[in-house]
Amino acid sequence: MKVITVPGTLDDRSFEQLASSLPPAQGERVLVDARRVRWVDPYGMLGLLALGQVLGDRAGPRERPRLQLPDSTEVVSYMGRMGFYNRAAALYEMHGAPRKQAEGTSDVLLEITPVTSHVDVHQIVDRVNERALTILTRQLLYPLNEAFQFSVMLSELCQNIIEHAGASGWVATQTYNWARRLGRKVVSIAVMDLGVGFHGSLGGEHAARYGERWSDASALQAAFIHGVTRFQDPGRGQGLQQIRRQTRRWDGWIAIRSGTARIADVPTWSDGTPLEEGLAPFPGTQISIILPSRVVDQGDPGRPEEGA
């Protein structure tokens, strides 16, 4: 049995360790060992689900991978609040997972939610609206009109799964207090699918023009930087550009991984890399967005407390 060891911190960066640990298409049964996990965010949890689905697809329905849960009771409880075990039960053989999932608390904007149809998108936006308006305006100090834009962004991200991926996916959103890392509260958004990726989605319309230069990286650059879409109708497929502009307006981070490449808008508070190539191949598209709380004037009574 092959063992894939999950790193202690599981987020968009350490996900690369999972991707590079994928066995060959026809391999032995796999144990995903998450016992050492001490911190995980929405991207990390969706990454575990995506890993489980890829492993299951390669091994067949009778050879589901096995998942060893974190030793940390706090992490196990948090993953339960995010609805992880409800989704993982169809992908992994698990032992000791909580039978009853705790209800999401006020800081969970959106528990892990599958996206398979346009109906799902509308339901997701309806579910997140009330929580988002409360958290973004009271905790992250966003003006009301900008808080509404959060739901628009979330809708666009989910629509991309339906229109471009050719496969189902997941979305999850959470708030954190990054006191040491950033000195502010943040919203973390993760969206993943295991579809055709940007290379496959844009290839039919644009690959010939790029010739030998067409790759996962060039496909990401075409869409992310130049606004290239697979639609010929003017105005269609511009959702990604709108999301990018809004994220930059909020001094946020957005990174998109697809195939063997990853592209990002890197704010001043991050040490991330704008473009990475030659990553371990992984199907579909994985998106991470971090939106920090709004910085207000010192005299504003809504200013976060020191150290928050």
Residue pLDDT, tens place only, 86-128: 999 999 999 888 765 555 555 678 899 999 888 888 888 887 7
What integer is the mean pLDDT of 254-263? 97
The class (CATH top level) of 106-296 is alpha beta
Distance CA 4, CA 121 (A): 33
Architecture of the 1-99 domain: 2-Layer Sandwich (3.30)
* Size of the chain, expressed as the number of residues it contains: 308
Q: Is residue 301 very low, low, confident or very high in pLDDT (cuts 50, 70, 90)?
A: very low
Q: Which residue has the higher pLDDT, 67 or 168?
A: 67
Is pLDDT above 70 for 248?
Answer: yes
Mean pLDDT score, 216-229: 90
Within its chain, how far is the Cα of 91 from the centroid? 18
251 pLDDT higher than 80:
yes
Nearest to 84 by CA among 140, 44, 117: 44
Range in 41-45, 49-53, 158-162 with the lowest mean pLDDT: 158-162
- Residue 238 confidence class, pLDDT cut points 50, 70, 90: low
213 pLDDT higher than 70: yes
What does the alpha-carbon distance between residue 194 and residue 168 come to, in Å, rounded to a whole number?
7
Whole-angstrom CA distances from 25 to 29, 56, 60 are 11, 10, 11
| Nearest in space to 45 (alpha carbons), one of 66, 23, 1, 14 | 14
pTM: 0.90
User: Which is more confidently placed, 195 or 152?
Assistant: 195
Select the more confidently predicted residue: 33 or 131. Answer: 33
pLDDT value at residue 236: 47
**Two structure tokens written together for 43:** 């991207």
pLDDT of residue 191: 94
- Asked if residue 32 lies in contact with residue 68, where contact means CB atoms within 8 angstroms, the answer is yes
| Residue ranges covered by each domain of the chain | 1-99, 106-296
SS3 221: helix
How far is 91 from 31, CA to CA, in rounded Å? 12
Neighbour count for residue 99 (Cβ, 10 Å):
7
Q: Give the pLDDT of residue 179.
A: 85
Task: Judge whether 67 and 94 are in contact, CB under 8 Å.
Answer: yes
Are both 1-99 and 106-296 of the same fold? no
Q: Give mean pLDDT, residues 180-196.
A: 92
Angular region, 166: left φ>0, alpha ψ -120 to 50, beta rest: left
Instruction: Give the whole-angstrom CA distance, residue 94 versus residue 271.
Output: 36
Q: What is the mean pLDDT of residues 124-152?
A: 83
At residue 234, the pLDDT reads 47
Residue 233 has pLDDT above 60, yes or no: no
Report d(CA 293, CA 228) in Å as an integer. Answer: 31
Would you state the structure tokens that stand for residue 176, as one six-digit string?
């954190």
pLDDT over 90 percentage in the chain: 53
Average pLDDT, the chain: 86
| pLDDT on residue 228 | 84
